[in-house]
Amino acid sequence: MSEQESLKSSSARNRGGVQRVEGKLRASVERGDYYEAHQMYRTLFFRYMSLSKHAEARELMYNGALLFFSYNQQNSAADLSMLVLESLEKSGAKVDDETLEHLAKLFSLMDPNSPERVAFVSRAIKWSSGGSGKLGHPKLHQLLALTLWKEQNYSESRYHFLHSSDGEGCAQMLVEYSSARGFHGEVDMFVAQAVLQFLCLKNKTSALVVFTTYTQKHPSIEKGPPFGQPLLNFLWFLLLAVDGGKLTVFTVLCEQYQPSLKRDPMYNEYLDRIGQLFFGVPPKQSSSYGGLLGNLLNSLMGSGEEEEGEEAQEDSSPIELD
């Protein structure tokens, strides 16, 4: 038997062993012996890990978590979900789409109000960064954003969309968010925040897509440009100016639209940063932003600054961006 055939045979035997074990555990759960089954899952996990059978351990825990979720055993399911992450962390597994989809699936089944869900998503995002120090893998953020959108948790959904590069999905969520929770006079402010934050993350493409999609699909916005709302016209001109990179255009634009920009004190903070990133504006004398505004900007710009050689933010928990 060749070495390749031997490996295939070994893999088939391992898979058969896992399936037999899963069958016994499933029977325990179906009988209602939840505690006994949970403890057996944990015992098998640590046994597989000690033998460096990381993939088998992970598969067993993932399927076990899904089984417990199907019986509404949230605590046991959440515990096995954390073991899935532990196997990923300790094995040095590479980030791939299938694994990200599995993590997002587990997240979607967790009780939205449980502390375990917060801990799970924080660790999942950290692992998905692949040790780069960035704020997690864009694909994972996109999947998390979609789940939170379905739960109508618009604020946290927006946070994850910002780090997903999915401008179109973000725009569609914001249309629903604005229509469901916003005042008629705020339709322009919902997209303004997203466009400016995407630009602070140096993501021009998503900034343009979120603006275009939102203004085309929002029922309260007449077709433009130009638009009936001055703030939307400002954003349109800003996106054109970012491509040109001319400081004089940027300066005049900000001066002309100050009445609209004063509607939210954060706008000028974002524009200070955008001026530095795209138009060569030197930082202010006070080298760092302070207080709440500083924390917000630092969290937003973690991945962008890391590209410039600065230390990235390690805290990737969802934050309120209202």
CA–CA dist 179, 213 (Å, integer):
15
Same domain, 127 and 40: yes
Q: What is the CATH number of the domain that holds 249?
A: 1.25.40.10
Above pLDDT 90, what percent of the chain? 77
Q: What is the pLDDT of residue 21?
A: 81
Residue 250 has pLDDT above 80, yes or no: yes
Q: What is the pLDDT of residue 130?
A: 83
Least confident of 59-68, 95-104, 131-140, 232-241: 131-140
CA–CA dist 72, 89 (Å, integer):
27
Residue 38 has pLDDT above 70, yes or no: yes
Residue 208 is which amino acid? L
Is 60 within the bounds of a domain?
Answer: yes
Q: What is the pLDDT of residue 25?
A: 93
C-alpha torsion angle, residues 119, 124, 130, 132 (rounded to 10):
-50
Within 10 angstroms of residue 12's Cβ, the number of other Cβ atoms is 10
Q: What is the pLDDT of residue 131?
A: 64
Same domain, 90 and 72: yes
Q: Are 93 and 59 in contact (CB under 8 A)?
A: no
Q: What is the pLDDT of residue 177?
A: 98
Residue 87 has pLDDT above 70, yes or no: yes
Cα angle 213-215-216, degrees, rounded to a multiple of 5: 65
CA–CA dist 227, 244 (Å, integer):
22
Q: pLDDT band at residue 121, thresholds of 50, 70 and 90?
A: very high
Same domain, 122 and 236: no
Q: What is the pLDDT of residue 112?
A: 96
CA–CA dist 170, 161 (Å, integer):
6
Same domain, 154 and 123: no
**Number of folded domains in the chain?**
2
CA–CA dist 305, 303 (Å, integer):
6
Same domain, 179 and 128: no
Extract long-range pairs of 229-232: CB within 8 Å, 24+ residues apart.
229/187, 229/188, 230/257, 230/259, 230/260, 231/188, 231/189, 231/192, 231/257, 231/260, 231/261, 231/263, 232/188, 232/191, 232/192
> Tell me: the pLDDT tens digits for 166-215?
999 999 999 999 999 999 999 999 999 999 999 999 999 999 999 999 99
Is 95 within the bounds of a domain?
Answer: yes
Q: What is the pLDDT of residue 318?
A: 34
Question: How many residues are given for the chain?
Answer: 322
Residue 320 has pLDDT above 60, yes or no: no
Average pLDDT estimate for 25-54:
95
Q: At what angle do helices 167-181 and 187-200 cross, to 10 degrees?
A: 150
Instruction: Identify the residue whose tokens are 């959440």.
Output: 78
Cα angle 59-62-67, degrees, rounded to a multiple of 5: 125
Same domain, 108 and 158: no
Least confident of 25-29, 173-177, 184-188, 292-296: 292-296
Same domain, 165 and 95: no
Residue 304 has pLDDT above 80, yes or no: no
Q: Is 283 left (phi over 0), alpha (psi -120 to 50) or beta?
A: beta
Closest CA to 17 of 55, 66, 70, 68: 55
Closest CA to 148 of 127, 176, 182: 176
CA–CA dist 302, 284 (Å, integer):
19
* Of 92, 113, 136, the domain-final residue: 136
Same domain, 187 and 87: no
Same domain, 196 and 92: no
Q: Are 236 and 211 in contact (CB under 8 A)?
A: yes
Average pLDDT estimate for 77-99:
96
pTM: 0.84
Residue 51: which domain range? Answer: 18-136
Average pLDDT estimate for 66-81:
98
